[in-house]
Amino acid sequence: MSNIFEVKKEQLQDKLGEIVPFDYVPQQGEDKQHVFTAYIEGTIPVRVRSKLTYEEFCRIC
C-alpha cells in the first residue's frame, strides 16, 4: 500500500502509525494514540491509528 499513500514521509516519520480495522477500539495505555478515518484518493475509507491528531495529519498530508 505504500504506493497508494502519497505523503511527505520525512515529516511523518514514525507518527503515522498503522491502518486498523473499522471496529478498532484503543486499548488502555494507548491514550496518546488517535484513531480516525482517512480517505485514499478521496473515496476509499481506511481507519488509521496515529500519534498525530486528525488536524495535524491533514496539515502534513
pLDDT by residue (tens digit) across 9-37?
555 556 667 888 999 887 777 667 788 88
pLDDT for res 15: 63
Domain assignment of residue 41, yes or no: yes
Q: Return the C-alpha torsion angle 17, 22, 24, 26, nearest 10.
A: 50
Domain assignment of residue 1, yes or no: no
Number of structural domains (the chain) is 1
Domain assignment of residue 3, yes or no: no
Domain assignment of residue 16, yes or no: yes
Domain assignment of residue 43, yes or no: yes
Domain assignment of residue 2, yes or no: no
Domain assignment of residue 37, yes or no: yes
Q: Write down the pTM of the prediction.
A: 0.57
pLDDT for res 4: 46
Residue 41 contacts residue 49 (beta carbons within 8 Å): no
Domain assignment of residue 31, yes or no: yes
Range of the domain at 46: 9-60
Listed residue (48, 59, 60) closest to 18, CA to CA: 48
